[in-house]
Structure 1
């Protein structure tokens, strides 16, 4: 069974966040849950009414047929109640699924954007979305849907006798008060605990990525100590929240049980006074317990409710800029030029504690189809930042990068990516086959295009030498490959689809002489077909196949022009410095 979106979703208020709007689109599903909850709560009257009939009618009449008829009816009603409860649970699970389906792509994009912008945003959008989905599919919404039916059960208790109703109502008020106190006592603690989870998980991920260095350089104890410190902070907050919730849950349970017994005792007194029947006495006790049960369930699920509410607030805040953006007009494939003008790249500005810092300034650069640009400069000068900017990554503070006159921001990121080939310093491959990695995970990529990209990178023969050839699974991060092999697979991926702009960041760092010759030939072939190749290198000797060069020092473009002219100036400056 699937939950369909409401046709009136477009009326969602623009002032609400993405999660709120996603939930509004499922309004009919929530209405169905509410209606089913009404049926379920009415069916919960089966037990009290059965007790009432048994005590007041069956025992008084000594009628076995009446008892058997009541038993048959009750069994049928309980079976129906089970089906209704199961249906409600299934709908809630699918509501969570649909919310995840609508928000998931945006949450994933935001997660990637945080990484690409080197963001210090203390959040995990996909983790927050999981929190919301799990809450929607759990027992919390069931308790919330049952709470409005408390007046019905209390009203029936009042109908039996006003004093029974007053006692049940006072007990319910006490439980509601305890619920509100629990909310105020745990709100900040839960927020702090969730923050500690994010920090702890980030440290674990950093350790996983640097496991080899940690083991090789004897950093395990130091790393374990850092993890222990962060884990202890999380455990302290988790224990504090658990203590508060368990304490309130225990007292609420005790109060509910005591109240149920109190109603039974008061009912017995009233029965002795012949103001109520014995059946009404038993039924009032059961109805009181049922009326207060949703409060106890709400307290038991309060941590999940608070965590989901905070996750919703974080997602609404960080996804608001992405929600509802219109699709960009598809532009024609670039074929002519790459122009950089007044470019300023800075640090991410999404955290208040860090000062905005300029990382790179590039005044002017103009490349035409078939040009090859070599970017040189000392380590830390901003070469990789420039390469990332050309590929559409980084926090742009000013200026522009244009392909055939269109700024990168004018492009749909997915469409733009098809026209760009990018090989970063640290080649990251997916736990999949070599063919799928070269094809950029595109399901409809043709075998001919995959093999052509491998041949263009000079990696075809190397791939065929592997046990599974193109179908070899390379493991997480390409663990079964050497550094040079990963780099050549990464180069083939960059060349896949014959992109117009190819950015290669230290592409020969792990290559042997055969691999380097294949790289140089790949650059020549790409330029020959009209591509623009930007080759970032630390050593000037790597620029044999380009016709232009740029020098970056201290985050600034200090020279741009023909390669030979730039190289002569660079050599002369080095000689004068020596």
Structure 2
């Protein structure tokens, strides 16, 4: 690797998930194929019928050569398998036109069957692709935030897009190839044995060699495809991160550095994929050569048999020119399925690697599982209680230790403390974005782990310090979470959040597109839209996680004035980077290293002359820095 080493030797981030998946293809067909059996049945039936019809012309041609074009042709010598003699005209001219008609009908029937096959298999594959994607997304969406902390967006997108699409390709193209191989091989072998079982054995002599060759290919290619799917996820993550952070890259003059990192990650994908490709492109020509040897042997043995009118070697009996021509045509059709068998194995192994990742993600257990006996959260007073709460993101790194407080309904609690003290974590536990390790979090005496997540998050509103806006209009983003709200309600929420004025100044007002992640708005504007969004949801408990950190002092004061009126009858838990906005809180808790070290009202904490007093002194300009204690 170069100086831009991307640590690509690390294990697949989904290795644990993949290891839990047992027989993914059986599950794919058992779970989703069963629900879509009708188009599958139609598609496979039509495919089989089309392939059977494709075998008819060589048989008709062989019979016609012997009966109509040979030196010994006689009346009524023209026969076809499975066709009653009564249907066949007696005259040679009639038999000629009859054979032409049969060939024309088989081509027309094959074309119609191919169209029906295309409809059935595509409907089957597209339906499963849709169902698998939405089921995987639904399962992923229910996972706790800890899972996403270890995974990058590009890796997850790789599963939802690339891997799911790979399954669709197999379900469509792979099943078509499988039906073609099965029908053609069985049909060809049946016809060949019917015509001359001895020459049929000569044609089939290469089949065991093909089977061994294919088995070796599967053993080599399967682990290669798993590696390829992993590197695709890492490449997607690198590209997604860089495109999302393009402003930082440019501002930091880091284009060359990031170009190097993308180059290294892409090179890793190139190396893994090229290794698999080299194995595949070596296998396919070898398979074709092996199958071709069988055709050459058939041609030589059958040609000598007809040419000399003597059975070669241990073979016995006679072989007509028409039967030999049929053998030549059908042998060619037999070679193609054998060559396609390798492609089918290739597609299948890719689908197995992708299905392991898809089902591995779908089966990922959530630590926030909702019990069957979970009840609706009923908020009467809005009292919030933390009882000896301990929490850690990682087992060996405790973030919160024995945090306890009791906040009466309608009161405001402010959390202050140095960066990394655990303030945001405290608030996320109330929303049950994570679960406590010890202790409990309650709302009006109801443990948040015992109520439905839906009812909890309807009653508890959350404004984070990093407001996320979705691509869409300003109005859509305010209405998010209260999707049935009227335009009047949206405007009222915008006014309450002190956002209405700047929104009206935008090109299209509330219908202005904000761009991906709200890129067209400033940080302060996004925060005010986020506040309007939560206010429109009208929750009983309101969480403000540095909700005004990106606005100027004047705007913050205006928002605070509006919030003071709106939160009068709500329970509020707030974090603020400017202590002036929380000095009127009913309770103030000071957190240090995950512990509550001070609590009380603003004046009480100033008199205590502790950490809060130091923080206040720094922000008020009374002292230059926080003294060591």
TM bucket by the smaller chain? 0.7 to 0.9
Find the residue that maps to 1:241 and give its secondary structure.
Answer: helix
Larger Rg: 2
Find the residue that maps to 1:25 and give its secondary structure.
Answer: helix
Q: Residue in 2 aligned with 1:81?
A: 110
Deviations, residues 309-351 of structure 1 (Å, cap 9, x unaligned): 1221233233225699997766155343333333333336xxx
Cα distance in 2 for residues equivalent to 1:74 and 1:91: 25
* 263-272 vs 103-112, greater mean Cα deviation: 103-112
Q: Residue in 2 aligned with 1:539?
A: 578
Contact 1:434 1:470 survives alignment (8 Å) = yes
The match for 1:285 among 310, 328, 340 is 328
Determine whether 1:265 maps to 2:300: yes
Determine whether 1:36 maps to 2:10: no
Structure 2 CA distance for partners of 1:545 and 1:325, relative to 1, 3 Å: closer
The match for 1:390 among 430, 448, 454 is 430
Structure 2 CA distance for partners of 1:478 and 1:367, relative to 1, 3 Å: same
Q: Residue in 2 aligned with 1:460?
A: 500
Q: Residue in 1 aligned with 2:528?
A: 488
Q: Residue in 2 aligned with 1:69?
A: 98
Q: Residue in 2 aligned with 1:152?
A: 187
Q: Residue in 2 aligned with 1:299?
A: 342
Contact 2:471 2:518 survives alignment (8 Å) = yes
Structure 2 CA distance for partners of 1:419 and 1:280, relative to 1, 3 Å: farther
The match for 1:56 among 66, 75, 86 is 66
The match for 2:120 among 74, 79, 91 is 91
Determine whether 1:126 maps to 2:165: no
Deviations, residues 84-106 of structure 1 (Å, cap 9, x unaligned): 22322322222233323433333
Structure 2 CA distance for partners of 1:137 and 1:214, relative to 1, 3 Å: same
Structure 2 CA distance for partners of 1:480 and 1:15, relative to 1, 3 Å: closer
Contact 1:550 1:557 survives alignment (8 Å) = yes
Determine whether 1:163 maps to 2:198: yes
Q: Residue in 1 aligned with 2:10?
A: none
Cα distance in 1 for residues equivalent to 2:133 and 2:225: 24
Output aligned runs, 1:190-229, within 5 Å: 190-229=225-264
Shift of 1:462: 1.7
The match for 1:334 among 379, 401, 406 is 379
Contact 1:342 1:398 survives alignment (8 Å) = yes
Structure 2 CA distance for partners of 1:506 and 1:171, relative to 1, 3 Å: same
Cα distance in 2 for residues equivalent to 1:455 and 1:369: 26
Shift of 1:446: 2.2
* 236-245 vs 117-126, greater mean Cα deviation: 117-126
Find the residue that maps to 1:218 and give its secondary structure.
Answer: coil
* 554-563 vs 500-509, greater mean Cα deviation: 554-563
Cα distance in 2 for residues equivalent to 1:460 and 1:252: 70
Structure 2: which 5+ runs fail to align? Answer: 1-22, 74-90, 311-317, 616-625
Shift of 1:511: 0.6
Structure 2 CA distance for partners of 1:199 and 1:129, relative to 1, 3 Å: closer
Shift of 1:20: 4.5
Cα distance in 1 for residues equivalent to 2:55 and 2:370: 49
Shift of 1:374: 1.2
Cα distance in 1 for residues equivalent to 2:447 and 2:29: 31
Q: Residue in 2 aligned with 1:515?
A: 555
Shift of 1:19: 7.4
Cα distance in 2 for residues equivalent to 1:452 and 1:232: 53
Cα distance in 2 for residues equivalent to 1:19 and 1:360: 46
Shift of 1:515: 2.1
Determine whether 1:432 maps to 2:480: no
Q: Residue in 2 aligned with 1:556?
A: 595
Shift of 1:567: 5.2
Contact 2:178 2:344 survives alignment (8 Å) = no
Structure 1: which 5+ runs fail to align? Answer: 1-12, 349-354
Structure 2 CA distance for partners of 1:332 and 1:383, relative to 1, 3 Å: closer
Contact 1:372 1:547 survives alignment (8 Å) = yes
Shift of 1:115: 8.0
Q: CA RMSD in A?
A: 3.1
Contact 1:377 1:538 survives alignment (8 Å) = no
Number of residue pairs matched by the alignment: 559
Deviations, residues 236-261 of structure 1 (Å, cap 9, x unaligned): 01100111111111222233334333
Contact 2:133 2:164 survives alignment (8 Å) = no
* 56-65 vs 471-480, greater mean Cα deviation: 56-65
Cα distance in 2 for residues equivalent to 1:65 and 1:200: 66
Q: Residue in 1 aligned with 2:359?
A: 316
Cα distance in 2 for residues equivalent to 1:318 and 1:382: 30
Cα distance in 2 for residues equivalent to 1:101 and 1:440: 25
Cα distance in 2 for residues equivalent to 1:325 and 1:24: 29
Contact 2:192 2:200 survives alignment (8 Å) = yes
Cα distance in 1 for residues equivalent to 2:284 and 2:349: 15
Shift of 1:436: 0.7
Cα distance in 1 for residues equivalent to 2:209 and 2:565: 79
Find the residue that maps to 1:26 and give its secondary structure.
Answer: helix
Structure 2 CA distance for partners of 1:502 and 1:170, relative to 1, 3 Å: farther
Cα distance in 2 for residues equivalent to 1:18 and 1:401: 40
Deviations, residues 479-519 of structure 1 (Å, cap 9, x unaligned): 21112111111111222220223222222221123420232
Find the residue that maps to 1:392 and give its secondary structure.
Answer: coil
The match for 1:380 among 420, 425, 428 is 420
Structure 2 CA distance for partners of 1:459 and 1:573, relative to 1, 3 Å: closer
Contact 1:143 1:295 survives alignment (8 Å) = no
Structure 2 CA distance for partners of 1:286 and 1:342, relative to 1, 3 Å: farther
